[in-house]
Copies of this chain bind each other. A is one copy, B any other.
Amino acid sequence: MSTSSSKKSTSANNLKNDRLLRALLREPVDRTPIWVMRQAGRYLPEYRATRSQAGSFLDLCHNPELACEVTMQPLERFPLDAAILFSDILTVPDAMGLGLYFTEGEGPRFKHPVRSEQDIKRLAVPDPEQDLGYVMDAVRLIRRELGGRVPLIGFSGSPWTLATYMVEGGSTKVFANTKGLLFDRPDLMHHLLNTLADAVTAYLTAQVAAGAQSLMIFDTWGGMLSARDYQEFSLQYMEKIISNLPREADGRRVPVVVFTKGGGLWLEAIANCGCDAVGLDWTVDIGDARQRIGDRVALQGNMDPCVLYASPERIRTEVAYILERYGKGNGHVFNLGHGIHPGINPEHTAALVEAVHELSIPYHQNN
């Protein structure tokens, strides 16, 4: 029974290119796989066209057909080794009733930030299929559209990162309200983070049920915390989420990547949180990171996104440097150390992908 049902589904076992999943589990591959954070995005003219057709950025997220379309766009251009769901990390708080909207130039905002005890205790965990059905529909559509070409990555923001937007009411450089709450009312902050951990667990579980084959937790603002507070207010909750996630789908492990931007000091702790792989920003030397935690987890990263402003030749040199720093063997997924910038020339992205695939072959021979 299980054999025939796995044959009927678009099983991960039927993936034409499973380099990403293998590398995230530190299994042998022929070349280092690569995908690019924000690979579907403003640097692509076809993305800008679809987006202007959709209306706002949020309209694009809410429309499964168009979200699927932009998810597929970078795969048509570049031989990337993974697709990543096109969505926004703030869909979860939006589904909690905070009223997400975007203002040109100022980024995301919430109509109803949460700051008081009442605000925080009123929050309920959304039902993913009901309240975030448009995301699950997008996941199902993308899986169908992919037809097993490459695996699909699902994702969420970390509880701490979501909390910063929810408490501030939008982006911030200062985190005055969030940190004020953290320091003065840690009980309330923990209440909020617990609710968010439950919400993210349900959200990611539903993404796997809908077809996501790997998961990534974006902890964009974990690096704004002190060493002690990072453990207590960010890492602890990612660990809780991971311990409750389904770790298999279609008879294959669903690897989880944790990416804390600015988390280079805490790699050992991150590697112990239950994840399969750790995302690295570009401030960490990937060779050092491998020495520190490469015996436990795979590493994803970590080229400075600004290298893509330079010439294709320079990009190639940098790829060679990072591959050499990582060295021979398994467990490396190439990526940028942060999302690709909107102003990047797509031909430079092509040069990046080509360089990774070409130059990584020797690192996987006799392995």
Contact = CB atoms under 8 A, between A and B. Distances in A.
A311 interface: yes
Interface string A281-295: 011110010000000
Interface string A257-278: 0000010110000000000000
A283 B184 contact: no
Interface stretch (A27-35, A201-209, A224-232): A224-232
Given A176-B341, A176-B343, A265-B265, A307 B183 contact: yes
Nearest to A228: B285
B310 A284 contact: no
A227 B285 contact: yes
Interface string A148-168: 000000000000000000000
Contacts of A321: 228
A226 B321 CA distance: 12
Contacts of A343: 176
A97 interface: no
A304 B180 contact: no
A70 B284 CA distance: 39
Q: Number of copies of this chain in the oligomer?
A: 2
A309 interface: yes
A284 B184 contact: no
A124 interface: no
B223 A318 contact: no
Contact of A226 (B176, B230, B283, B311): B283
A238 B310 CA distance: 26
B226 A184 contact: no
A175 B264 CA distance: 20
Contacts of A226: 282-283, 285, 304, 337
Contact of A314 (B184, B223, B307): B184
A175 B308 CA distance: 12
Contacts of A265: 264-265, 283-284
A306 interface: yes
Given A179-B306, A304-B179, A310-B183, A174 B285 contact: no
A350 to B, nearest CB: 17
Contacts of A175: 306
Nearest to A264: B265
Contacts of A264: 264-265
A161 to B, nearest CB: 16
Given A306-B180, A309-B183, A227 B314 contact: no
Contacts of A311: 184
Interface in A339-359: 341, 343
Interface in A153-200: 174-176, 179-180, 182-184
Contacts of A176: 306, 309, 341, 343
Nearest to A180: B309
Contacts of A314: 183-184
11 contacts: A179-B304, A180-B309, A182-B306, A183-B310, A183-B314, A184-B310, A223-B283, A225-B283, A227-B283, A227-B285, A264-B265
Given A227-B284, A227-B285, A228-B321, 17 more contacts: A175-B306, A176-B309, A179-B304, A179-B307, A179-B309, A179-B310, A183-B307, A183-B310, A183-B314, A224-B283, A226-B282, A226-B304, A228-B285, A230-B283, A262-B283, A264-B265, A265-B284
